[in-house]
Amino acid sequence: MKNIQKISAILFCFLITNVSAQTAYTKLVGGLDYIIIAKGKGELIKDSTFVKLHYIQTIGDSVFFNSYKQPTGPVLNFVQKGRGDINDYFPIFNKCRNGDSIVIRLNKDSLFRGNTPPFVKEKDEVLLKMKIVEVFSKKQRDSIFIDDAKKAAEQKAMADAKKMEEDKAMAAAIGNEDKVLQEYIAANKIKAIKTTSGMYYAITEKGTGELPKNGQQLTMNYTGMLLDGTKFDSNVDPAFNHVQPFTFTLGVGQVIRGWDEGIALLPVGTKGILLIPSPMAYGPSSPSPVIKPNSIMRFDVEVISAK
């Protein structure tokens, strides 16, 4: 489909760029000039119908708008009685059919109300170059919108169902790992608090600052390790070759979920421990050879600042 649209755009551009200055324009009642450079099929377009079209707007050699390059695609117009001024091009639709390509020459003086920009030269023409790609009634348009809304609702329902299944799987995995975490907490005599999501945190040295807020940029010290004590990253251990403080924005998904949730519970200046079940860490992924899939993680952290 994209290739077909691209070919259509190339053919359209070829046609409109080969309309010579000597080409005979037809003058519309009201004074607007237009020419149909490629004819489509079917009946003439009637008022109170909808027209989907691509268009390129140019002034001289400069392109000011090109719908072929817009992600939204063709532009939707409702054909109705126009404004009646000299640049009103809506009546031209009544002389066109589906598939027509049209060049419309606008009146510069009227368009710019006598204040023509300095970059517009006297010889420059202001052109609208249109390609009609679809014509349909209000009833057909409403049907299209209803179908689109139905598809969107179905997609949302599928996405919601998928998320529900993922949440159930995550809750089950966190529940399965809870016994391991409790045994680790007991063996290491950590005064930990369990959150509703299933992770644990402990404050080892409470700071005097406020709790961080989502959207703030936090500066941290940290050491990450597995429950067997194997370190996999740190910005305070020179062995990992990056001893500068770590910064991130809280609550926007820049870090693992366990960090976004756990760090928000630690006032600025606090040192603490985060014990994070694997679904709230990297899950089945393995970002490092040291980290096996579905690894529970411990982070010793310090919240230096929040701005």
- Taking the C-alpha atoms of residue 138 and residue 79, their distance in angstroms, rounded to an integer, is 10
Is the Cβ–Cβ distance between 266 and 272 less than 8 Å? yes
Catalytic residue among 50, 93, 200, 282: 282
Active site residue 203: no
One of 50, 201, 222, 291 is an active-site residue; which one?
Answer: 222
Q: Is 282 a catalytic residue?
A: yes
Residue of 203, 233, 246, 248 with catalytic role? 233
93 is catalytic: no
Based on the residue annotation, tell me whether 233 is a catalytic residue of this protein: yes
Q: How many CB atoms lie within 10 A of CB 267?
A: 16
CA 77 to chain centre: 25
Q: Which of 45, 102, 256, 273 is catalytic?
A: 256
Catalytic residue among 184, 232, 240, 246: 232
Q: How many CB atoms lie within 10 A of CB 61?
A: 7
Q: 3-state SS of the chain?
A: CHHHHHHHHHHHHHHHHCCCCCCCCEECCCCCEEEEEECCECCCCCCCEEEEEEEEEEECCEEEEEHHHCCCCCEEEEECCCCCCCCCCHHHHCCCCECCEEEEEECHHHHCCCCCCCCCCCCCCEEEEEEEEEEEEHHHHHHHHHHHHHHHHHHHHHHHHHHHHHHHHHHHHHHHHHHHHHHHHHHCCCCCEECCCCCEEEEEECCCCCCCCCCCEEEEEEEEEECCCCEEEECCCHHHCCCCCEEEECCCCCCCHHHHHHHCCCCCCCEEEEEECHHHCCCCCCCCCCCCCCCCEEEEEEEEEEC
DSSP β-bridge partners for residue 105 = 33, 127
Query: Which is the catalytic residue, given 200, 273, 299, 300?
Result: 299
Residues with catalytic function: 222, 232-233, 256, 282, 299
